[in-house]
Structure formats: C-alpha cells, structure tokens
Amino acid sequence: MRIGPYAITPNLILAPMAGVTDKPFRVLCKNMGAGLCVSEMTISDPRFWRTSKSLHRMDHAGEPAPISVQIAGTDPKQLAEAARFNVDHGAQIIDINMGCPAKKVCNVLAGSALMRDEKLVAEILSATVDAVPVPVTLKIRTGWSPDSRNALAIARIAEDCGIQSLAVHGRTRQDFYTGLAEYDTIAAVKQAVRIPVVANGDISDPLKAKMVLEYTKADALMIGRAAQGRPWIFRHIRHYLETGEQLPEPSLSCIADTLLGHLRQLHEFYGEPQGVRIARKHLGWYSAAQENAAEFRARVNKAETAAEQVALTTAFFDALIEQEATAAA
C-alpha cells in the first residue's frame, strides 16, 4: 500500500488515539512492526497550538518516517491552516479526523459529527488538500447512526477531493465502541473507490486480522485499542500474514523489558511529574493480564517519581518471573 510517495510496509497502521498515541508510543509501535503510526489529533483552532499539550503533540524529532499527523475541526480555513502549520513542523502526511465519537468533539460538530454534513465534508477536504504539498488522508466511521450509514457517499467525496487514503471504522458514531464492528460497509467502500481503503475496528489478534483483510479486501488494517499494553501485536500480525504461523505470546521478561523501556521514554519525553502520570494508564494496560494486577496498580499509581514508578514495576515483574520459574522447576 502507498500513500502518496510513501510505501506503508507492512500494511498495519496504528490508529490515532487521543492521550495514547504520543511520540513514545508511536516510536515503540513502529519498532514493533507497525508500518505507519498516526499521531493524536491536533485541534485546528490556532489559539491552542502553543499550549504545552500541542507542542508535545507536534514534536517529531527522531520519529521514523513517514510522520502522519491527525487534525480535527469544523472550519475549512482553520483546518487548511492547521495542515500547513503541521507540515511546517514536520508532518509528511495529514490525516483528517471525521471518526472520533467523543461527545466533547461531536458537540462542536467535529469528528464523526461532520459525516452528517456532506457539503461541509467536501469543503473541508478540498481546502485541506489544496493547502499542503503532502498527502492528505481521512478517517471516518460507517455513518452517524445505524439508520444513517453514509460511508459510501463520504468515500466518493473523499476520492473526488484528492484524499489519498481512507480509513473506515466499522461502527457508527452512535455505536461508540459498543457491540461488534461490522465489515460489510468497509467492503462496499473498497469496491466503490480506487484510493486505498484501511479497515479498522475490533482487530485484536492475527486470526481476526487475516479474516478482516480477506473479507473486506482492504489495502491495510488499522489497529487501535488492541495495541494498548500490547504493542507487539503488529509484529505478531505481520508474522502470521506472511507465514501462516502464530508467534507465541511474549515472555514475562520481554513484557517487562518493553514496559520499562516505554516508561523511560515517557519520563524523558514529558519529564516529571507529567510523565509519571501519563504512564499510569499504560501500566494498567501492560499488567492487566497478570496475577495480582489490581494490587500492583493500586501501589504503582501512588508513585510520584519516575524512579519509584520504575522500581515498583521492576519488583512486580521480577516477582512474577521468579514465581513462574519456581512453578516450572
């Protein structure tokens, strides 16, 4: 799969997730086998571009190419200006958010709420594509509600406006993340347009990845929540798609090494105390499947320093590894 001049290899993409896909997580997932990692969404309103949060989101120093930045908003001129601003700060691909179901986004008619106004969609896409010399991509849902699935119409508008790749999450906005993703709409979109189509929604393991690719005929897969605490999912899916063999789950030692490396990158990127606080959700995801995870989270979430957080995490996994070795003896 290609997006403009960029070959996306493998065809596995980390979905943009607010509060999750910051630079430390993007770099980690890229190293774990993702072909492309999309940033957290950046608000198009220029009043917020110089905040600490926005400046962190626009920090791409040392990030593997291609650098894809998602922008969100409702005003075509503001989105065009946001696209230019982010390209000036290192973005090589601009992704437009029309898929976010969050109330605070939809209440201002952004994110997936835009799918209810196809005329405005066309204006936004045309303005953004015309504003920058880099590829522009789009992320949508299947529609606003089960009674209003207009992904096909939006896909045709996107293609006509020059969008170079379209990611479709297999739920409507009203579904949020409940129920099961459906792939019939994604398959129909793939048949209807010539641009690359990316399937998204409930792709949680290699077997599901293969099924979705075969069913939808999509050009790539986008993985979001399934990568939280499991960044190696990209490596496992790629291996299965290429060989038909499933890799074993990572050992406790591998999980610990990955997590501790991730913690150190978060601490370095954000500093204290912000890095410690941001790391807490990742600690919960990495440890969720382990014995005594609740007790560990209760302790580690009280840590106020990076050193304490690392020490508690190291001790937790060392105990698990020792317990596993004793049981195997």
Q: What is the pLDDT of residues 78-96, one digit of tens each?
A: 999 999 999 999 999 999 9
Share of the chain above pLDDT 90, in %: 81
Residues 67-76 pLDDT 10s: 999 999 999 9
CB 24 within 8 A of CB 222: no
Average pLDDT over residues 19-48: 89
pLDDT at 29: 98
As given in the structure block, the two tokens for residue 306 are 């990076």
Spell out the residues 6+ positions from residue 230 whose beta carbon is closer than 8 angstroms to its own.
Answer: 285
Pick the closest to residue 114 from 127, 101, 129 (CA basis): 101
What pLDDT is attached to residue 45? 66
Location of structure tokens 């129920």? 179
Q: What is the mean pLDDT of the chain?
A: 92
User: What pLDDT score was predicted for residue 110?
Assistant: 61
* Lowest mean per-residue pLDDT among 23-27, 62-66, 209-213, 234-238: 62-66
pTM: 0.94
d(CA 64, CA 40): 16
Tell me which residue of 173, 296, 181, 223 sits closest to 20, measured CA to CA. Answer: 223
> What does 216-239 look like in DSSP terms, one character per residue?
H--SEEEE-GGGTT-TTHHHHHHH
Q: Which residues contact 90 (CB under 8 A, 6 or more apart)?
A: 58, 60, 61, 63, 67
Q: Per-residue pLDDT for 169 more than 90?
A: yes
- The reported pLDDT for the residue numbered 134 is 98
pLDDT band of residue 106 (cuts 50, 70, 90) is: very low
- Residue 51: pLDDT band (50, 70, 90) is low
Residue 27, pLDDT > 70, answer yes
Instruction: Report whether pLDDT(132) > 70.
Output: yes
172-215 per-position pLDDT tens digit: 988 878 888 999 999 999 999 999 999 999 999 999 999 999 99
Q: What is the pLDDT of residue 325?
A: 86
Tokens for 68, please give them: 């894809």
Average pLDDT over residues 24-28: 97
Question: What's the whole-number mean pLDDT along residues 290-298?
Answer: 95
Indicate the range of 165-179, 226-240, 267-281 predicted with least confidence. Answer: 165-179
> CA of 256: how far to CAs of 20, 31, 40, 160, 242, in Å?
19, 16, 25, 47, 27
By annotation, the residues acting in catalysis are: 100
